[in-house]
């Protein structure tokens, strides 16, 4: 096994995190068309889903995406364990006083997000693969890639919608620190640029989860 320094692991972790952050923006842009934001919103959503599930290049991207998720999870866990081992006494007695609020719970929010991903895959991606059954409800599901009625059925289910909202709020906490930490790991610390990166990270960690939250909120209210 190739030995890697902590700095190398942080670089890999940072690049994986930035890639996933960009993917979230694309995913949000598609998912927003579940809502009636345009007259042909359902058609736009279904066309986007069809492209994402049939284009050969996108299928290659899926492999890259899953690999990136795995790298981010594995390296994040390794780095956290290394931090715990390196400063067990200081972490308990002093670290909590000198560490930012969001960084204290990165491993905890990361575990919760992983659980969220598993639930998400069970309800969508694994359905496409024929491993799990599509979520049922008032909207009839006509096939394994008929994601629009699947989404409607899920978000019309109040317990699932509430759980989805709570998990996305936790994702926002995770993103707030992760965004800034990624650029810090890449050595982009500067009195001129750091405040801008922090501001963009905070804005991103609010807008992206809020965008996703709008979807279940719509079905809960209307």
Q: Is the pLDDT of residue 163 over 90?
A: yes
- pLDDT, position 3: 59
Q: Give yes or no for a contact between 109 and 174, defined as CB atoms under 8 angstroms apart.
A: yes
Cβ atoms < 10 Å from Cβ of 89: 8
The most distant pair of C-alpha atoms in the chain lies apart, rounded to whole Å, by 59
- Mean pLDDT within 205-219: 96
pLDDT-derived band at 165 (thresholds 50, 70, 90) equals very high
Residue 116 lies in a domain: yes
In-domain check, residue 97: yes
**What is the per-residue pLDDT for 95?**
44
Of 142, 136, 81, 131, the C-alpha closest to 110 is 81
Instruction: Tell me how many domains the chain contains.
Output: 1
CATH number where 137 lies: 1.20.1300.10
C-alpha count within 13 angstroms, C-beta hemisphere, residue 101? 3
Q: Can you tell me which residue has the tokens 């940072």?
A: 14
Distance of CA 203 to the CA centre of its chain: 16
| Residue 156 in domain | yes
The range of the structural domain enclosing residue 107 comes to 6-221
Answer yes or no: is pLDDT of 195 > 90: no
Q: If you ran DSSP here, which 8-state letter would residue 146 be given? A: -
| Vertex 64: Cα angle to 60 and 66 (nearest 5) | 115
Between 120 and 102, residue with greater pLDDT: 120
Q: How confident is the model at residue 93 (pLDDT cuts 50, 70, 90)?
A: very low
- Do the Cβ atoms of 101 and 111 come closer than 8 Å? no
* Residue 196 scores a pLDDT above 50: yes
1 is a domain residue: no
Q: pTM (2 decimals)?
A: 0.84
Nearest to 145 by CA among 28, 41, 42, 54: 54
């Amino acid at each position: 096994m190739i030995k890697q320094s902590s700095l190398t692991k942080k670089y890999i972790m940072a690049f994986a995190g930035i890639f996933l952050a960009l993917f979230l923006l694309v995913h949000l842009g598609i998912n927003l068309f579940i809502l009636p934001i345009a007259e042909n919103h359902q058609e736009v959503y279904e066309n986007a889903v069809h492209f994402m599930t049939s284009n050969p290049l996108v299928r290659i991207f899926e492999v890259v995406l899953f690999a990136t998720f795995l790298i981010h999870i594995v390296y994040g866990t390794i780095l956290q364990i290394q931090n715990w081992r390196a400063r067990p006494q200081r972490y308990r007695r002093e670290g909590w006083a000198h560490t930012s609020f969001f960084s204290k719970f990165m491993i905890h929010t990361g575990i919760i997000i992983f659980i969220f991903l598993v639930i998400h895959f069970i309800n969508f991606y694994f359905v496409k693969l024929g491993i799990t059954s599509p979520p049922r409800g008032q909207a009839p599901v006509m096939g394994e890639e008929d994601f629009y009625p699947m989404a409607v059925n899920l978000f019309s289910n109040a317990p699932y919608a509430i759980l989805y909202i709570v998990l996305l709020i936790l994702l926002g906490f995770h993103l707030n620190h992760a965004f800034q930490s990624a650029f810090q790991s890449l050595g982009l610390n500067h009195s001129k640029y750091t405040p801008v990166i922090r501001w963009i990270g905070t804005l991103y960690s609010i807008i992206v989860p809020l965008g996703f939250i709008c979807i279940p909120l719509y079905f809960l209210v209307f």
